[in-house]
Amino acid sequence: MRILTGIQPSGTLHIGNYFGAIKPAVELQQRGDAFYFIADYHSMTTLTDPAERRKNTIDVALDFLACGLDPKRSIFWRQSDIPEVCELTWLLGTLTPMGLLERAHSYKDKVAKGIAPNFGLVAYPVLMAADILLYDSNLVPVGKDQKQHVEITRDIATKFNQTYGETFVIPEPEIREDVATVPGLDGQKMSKSYGNTIDIFGDEKATRKKIMGIVMDSRTPQEPKPDADKNLAIQLLKLVAPADTARDFEERLRAGGLGYGDLKKALFEHYWNFFAEARARRAELAANLDYVNQVLAEGARRARAVAAQVLTRARQACGIG
């Protein structure tokens, strides 16, 4: 079984990225061939500062490796090191109905936020389909916000197979229900564009301040709270604390009498400890960027060998070359 996922280098990674995609991806390394990449071409649809893109790309590499991506088990590369993906985007694009792209939530959200739609933004899901299909991927671990993009990929692959004969593997999304949408500090989906993130490797003081600033209940701490499971701090605590600790806090909040400051302090402490090992690993890796660049170069070499074969199959199927 082949497992594939990608992350955009559009900023520092947050715990929504971690629980929604990185953690499942790291666990899935045991179950098949893992293909993981940094989607730098995709980041061009929202980020136009080259220096920032370069920095973010290395940061994502450090984050992913620190969180447990094992280059001995997995192929890890930079999307743009495999130019075949752009050619496949064209082949797929010629069969992709505009209506499918215009209905994409992520496209509609970006346009609603005032981003001027250009060709790249509309074609974003086609490039993502090319990412997935170019490596014969079976399983794509992602957060819920990417589900529709994987469905679009399935539609495009099916259309291609019907038009030109069996060429592509039809992939399945893998979405963990409990972390499908990790909430941010304001209760909306955690997202860099909402400014509500807790970074995986955030600065200690700044992150403590962010967590202590979570707006709590308008009820007094003493009042019982039958809806304690809906509390944002409890939901986040469940991600980073041992299950019985989180349950204990939830029960104390439900019963009434738990101080909100105490709850947030516990959330910060558990968050900090949860990523302590990864933080130490990240510091080591950051001091050894030659190693990180070597991993990406070796990953690109191995990914390209697969990509070249699949692209040749696709070109032959449609009578190109």
Q: Which of 192, 225, 238, 264 is catalytic?
A: 192
Q: Which residues does the annotation place in the binding site?
A: 8-10, 16-17, 131, 143-145, 182, 189-193
Cβ atoms 7, 64 nearer than 8 A: yes
Judged by CB under 6 A, the chain residues 29 through 58 that form the site for ligand TYM are 39, 42
Q: Which stretch binds ligand TYM (CB under 6 A): 114-122, 185-193, 211-219, 240-248?
A: 185-193
Number of residues that bind ligand TYM (CB under 6 A): 26
Q: Tell me whether residue 110 is one of the annotated catalytic residues.
A: yes
Using CB under 6 A, which of 2, 3, 11, 21 touches ligand TYM? 21
Contacts (Cβ under 8 Å, ≥6 apart) of 39? 6, 7, 8, 9, 79, 128, 131
Under the binding rule (CB under 6 A), the answer on residue 145 touching ligand TYM is yes
Distance CA 198, CA 210 (A): 8
Sign, CA dihedral 232-210-38-155, equals positive
8-state DSSP, 22 = I
Using CB under 6 A, which of 8, 45, 80, 231 touches ligand TYM? 8
Minimal distance in Å, beta carbon 219 to ligand TYM? 27
Q: Tell me whether residue 192 is one of the annotated catalytic residues.
A: yes
Q: Tell me whether residue 225 is one of the annotated catalytic residues.
A: no
Judged by CB under 6 A, the chain residues 197 through 256 that form the site for ligand TYM are none
* Residue matched to tokens 């009498």: 257
Burial of residue 66 (number of CB atoms within 10 Å: 0-12, 13-18, 19+): buried
| Of 10, 13, 4, residue with least CA distance to 198 | 13
Distance CA 69, CA 62 (A): 10
Judged by CB under 6 A, the chain residues 147 through 166 that form the site for ligand TYM are 149
Query: Nearer to ligand TYM by C-beta: 84 or 131?
Result: 131
Please identify every residue annotated as catalytic: 110, 189, 192
